[in-house]
Amino acid sequence: MVIKVGIVGYGTIGKRVADAVRKMDDMELVGAVKQNPDYEGEVAVSKGIRLYTYEDKVGKFEKAGIKVSGTINELLRSIDVVIDATPDGVGAENKAKLYEPMKLKAIFQGGEEAEVAEVSFNALANYDMAVGKRFVRVVSCNTTALSRLISAFLIHGYRIRRVRAYIVRRGADPREFKKGPINDVVFNPATVPSHHGPDVMTVIPSVNIITMAVAVPTTMMHLHMVNVEFDGQISRGEAIKVLEETPRILLFNASSKKFESLAQVIEWARDIGRPRGDVFENAVIEDSITASQNELFLMQGVHQESIVVPENIDAVRAMMGLTDKWSSIRKTDEVLGLITTNKNYALA
| CATH number where 176 lies | 3.30.360.10
The answer to whether the predicted template modeling score (pTM) of the entire model surpasses 0.85 is yes
8: β partners: 33, 84
> pLDDT under 70 in the chain at which residues?
348
Taking alpha carbons only, the member of 222, 313, 329 closest to residue 5 is 313
For residue 130, the SS3 value is helix
- What type of residue sits at position 87? P
- How do beta strands 209-216 and 160-170 pair? parallel
Tell me, yes or no, whether 83 lies in a domain: yes
Tell me, yes or no, whether 84 lies in a domain: yes
Active-site residue, from 136, 141, 307, 315: 141
Number of domains present in the structure of the chain: 2
Signed CA dihedral, 76, 118, 140, 287: sign only = negative
CA–CA dist 327, 339 (Å, integer): 16
User: Phi and psi at residue 172, in whole multiples of 5°?
Assistant: -165, 160
Q: Say whether both 125 and 236 belong to one domain.
A: no
Tell me, yes or no, whether 345 lies in a domain: no
| Farthest CA pair distance, the chain | 66
Buried b / exposed e over 318-331, threshold 16 CB at 10 Å, is bbbebeebbebbbb
- Check residue 99 and report its DSSP letter: I
CA 37, 306, 331: angle at the middle one, nearest 5?
115
Tell me, yes or no, whether 347 lies in a domain: no
For residue 145, the SS3 value is helix
- What type of residue sits at position 219? T
141 is catalytic: yes
Q: Say whether both 193 and 221 belong to one domain.
A: yes
Tell me, yes or no, whether 346 lies in a domain: no
Q: Say whether both 171 and 293 belong to one domain.
A: yes
Q: Domain range holding 48? A: 3-139+308-336
CA–CA dist 87, 197 (Å, integer): 21
296: β partners: 228, 291
Q: What is the CA radius of gyration of the chain?
A: 20
Q: Say whether both 175 and 313 belong to one domain.
A: no
Q: Say whether both 296 and 313 belong to one domain.
A: no
Q: Say whether both 126 and 227 belong to one domain.
A: no
pLDDT of residue 158: 98
Q: Say whether both 173 and 249 belong to one domain.
A: yes
CA–CA dist 183, 12 (Å, integer): 24
Q: Say whether both 172 and 75 belong to one domain.
A: no
Strands of the sheet with 135-138, listed across from one edge: 70-71, 51-53, 27-33, 3-8, 81-84, 105-108, 135-138, 119-121
CA–CA dist 336, 275 (Å, integer): 10
CA–CA dist 80, 316 (Å, integer): 10
Taking alpha carbons only, the member of 294, 39, 42, 274 closest to residue 163 is 294
Q: Say whether both 324 and 218 belong to one domain.
A: no
Q: Say whether both 150 and 296 belong to one domain.
A: yes
CA–CA dist 127, 248 (Å, integer): 14
Tell me, yes or no, whether 341 lies in a domain: no
Dihedral, 322, 327, 333, 334 alpha carbons, nearest 10: -100
Q: Say whether both 271 and 183 belong to one domain.
A: yes
CATH number of domain containing 314:
3.40.50.720
CA–CA dist 4, 257 (Å, integer): 43
pLDDT of residue 348: 65
Tell me, yes or no, whether 180 lies in a domain: yes
Tell me, yes or no, whether 348 lies in a domain: no
302: β partners: 222
CA–CA dist 323, 128 (Å, integer): 10
Q: Say whether both 314 and 253 belong to one domain.
A: no
